[in-house]
Amino acid sequence: MPEFCGRTHGIQKAPIQELLMEAKIPEDVISLGQGVPFFGPPEEAISAASDALNEGYGYTEDIGTFGLRKAIAKKLLRQNHIHADPERNIMVTAGGNQAFINALMAITNIGDDVVILSPYYFNHFMAIKLVGCNPIVVETDENYLPQIEEIFEAVTPHTKAIVTISPNNPTGAVYSKHVLEEINKFCSDMNIYHISDEVYEQFVFKGIHQSPASFDKNIEHTISIFSFSKSFGMPGYRIGYVVFPSHLYNEILKVQDTIGICAPTISQYAAEAVLNSCPSYAKSFLPAMEKVRNIFIEGMDMECINMPVTHGSFYFFIKLHTNKPSWEIAKVLIEKYGVITIPGNVFGSSYPSIRISYGNLDEEQAEEGVK
């Protein structure tokens, strides 16, 4: 049998799928696992996708339809205060994960370092390894906020980028403007990139979402990742976008054309429709989601766990007072209690922990999950 390549060595299997395959799942379960919202796409998305089916299945421009890029540019200016040229600064991708790996392949060489914060989003870690780079992991503080000096100390001559996620997956932390400005300015001073993952931009329960690309004179070293999966209830449409400085245009276009040519055509028309009709769609669902969130905050036994109350996305990252490995804890929760969570070790956590997602629950399910 021919050997498989070493590129995938050290990359974990799809962790959610692996856990569910390994555990003995009872018939009735409550899922606090996969990060999806409880709402589906707007009617405008469904209608536009249906119309597109009748117009054929042709490719679009590699960077996406001009109509969608124009709608994205309008949204970026209005909501994120980012000035982006739809011809040179925006690329439509098959979801936020492709946006991230496109950016990595455009800015890194094999052996380069990329700084990420722990607990980290495991797909970021996997992508960095997959392109042949070294993930340099820096711990966040007790509230899962960036430790600025530790981040700066982790940067070496081989570093190409610092990655931030705010609002955060897996912790729910929302980074302040001051913190993001410090990181962004440091990246500028060091002539490296700041990759800002803003997939959960609409899910902020306290504070204000900040987009580093909106800061003064910082567009040239800032790459921003966005997605329609969470904010518009469209995970299966596989549609996102990356905002990048114009000098990266040719390089990121090469990556896009090689890997996927273009994002799904039907999904692009659906995305354009929702941006033009209901660009803040998710915000109408936040009151219902906040009620569920409060059930967890008020109902968890804080003597048995350490659960910093964070204010964004729809996750809590819980530290557990036990010596059992995170993976075993997650299996017990499934097999004995019928509750699916994600073990903290897949997010780089060195202590016993789990991530819970409350985005797809109603109040009754949340009450049952807390029990």
**In a 10 Å sphere around its CB, with 0-12 CB exposed, 13-18 middle and 19+ buried, how is residue 339 labelled?**
buried
More confident residue, 12 or 190: 190
Rounded to the nearest 5 degrees, what angle is found at the Cα of 167, between the Cα atoms of 183 and 133?
A: 55
Give the H/E segment covering residue 312: none
Name the average pLDDT for the chain: 93
- What is the pTM (predicted TM-score) of this model? 0.95
Confirm if 119 and 317 have CB atoms less than 8 A apart: yes
Confirm if 238 and 263 have CB atoms less than 8 A apart: yes
Inter-helix orientation angle 122-130/96-107, to 10°: 40
pLDDT at position 74 is 98
Per the DSSP assignment, residues forming a β-bridge with 164 are 196
pLDDT for residue 76 is more than 70: yes
Helix, strand, coil abundance in the chain, percent, nearest 5: 45, 15, 40
**CATH 3.90.1150.10 for domain 6-40+283-370:** yes
Q: Within the chain, which residue ranges are assigned CATH 3.40.640.10? A: 43-280
- What percent of the chain is modeled with pLDDT above 70? 99
Write down the CATH number for the domain with range 43-280.
3.40.640.10
pLDDT at position 56 is 66
**In a 10 Å sphere around its CB, with 0-12 CB exposed, 13-18 middle and 19+ buried, how is residue 297 labelled?**
middle
